[in-house]
Amino acid sequence: MKKAEVDKIINSYGADRSQVIAIMNEVQDEERYLPEETLKHIAQRLKLPLAQLYSISTFYRVFSLVPKGKHQCTVCMGTACHVRGAERVLSELERVLKVKAGETTKDKQFSLDTVNCVGACALGPIVIMDGEYHGQVTAAKARNVLKKPEAK
């Protein structure tokens, strides 16, 4: 992302330091992660310590310091999902995508992540694909969840 594009985002928030999380979120929406050079530029423009931006980036799970895939696949590993087979679902997704949880495919199409709970326990196991919740997913159905974004 070019500095001019980052500046446009910063300016849309009035270069207000209290809006740093919103600014970082918007940058990540464009880049799919927060590049080091971009964080340095934001810190400089908002007159904030770079360490503060890194602290925010590592505290909130929504932020990533490494490139993410075009499609985000998240498996809930909460207790209800776990006892209903979330481990098998995750294993199948790892096998199909050829990555481990927390990684991105080589072609940058898919990132696979886990969360502790999404609060939809009655529908477990839950897989969230690009923000769309899929309930009662089994290992056999996991591949179908991945096919949906390809049609878009």
In a domain, 120, yes or no: yes
Tokens linked to 149: 């974004």
Regarding whether 82 and 142 lie in a shared domain, the answer is yes
Regarding whether 40 and 8 lie in a shared domain, the answer is yes
Regarding whether 78 and 145 lie in a shared domain, the answer is yes
Per-residue pLDDT reduced to its tens digit, 32-71? 899 999 999 999 999 999 999 999 999 988 899 998 999 9
Q: What is the mean pLDDT of residues 4-23?
A: 97
What is the residue range of 35's domain? 3-59
Nearest to 143 by CA among 88, 82, 101, 100: 88
Alpha carbon distance 68, 130 (integer Å): 12
CATH number at residue 116: 3.40.30.10
In a domain, 53, yes or no: yes
Per-residue pLDDT reduced to its tens digit, 110-136? 999 999 999 999 999 999 999 899 999
In a domain, 64, yes or no: no
Q: Is the pLDDT of residue 149 over 90?
A: no
Q: Is the pLDDT of residue 148 over 80?
A: no
Regarding whether 105 and 54 lie in a shared domain, the answer is no
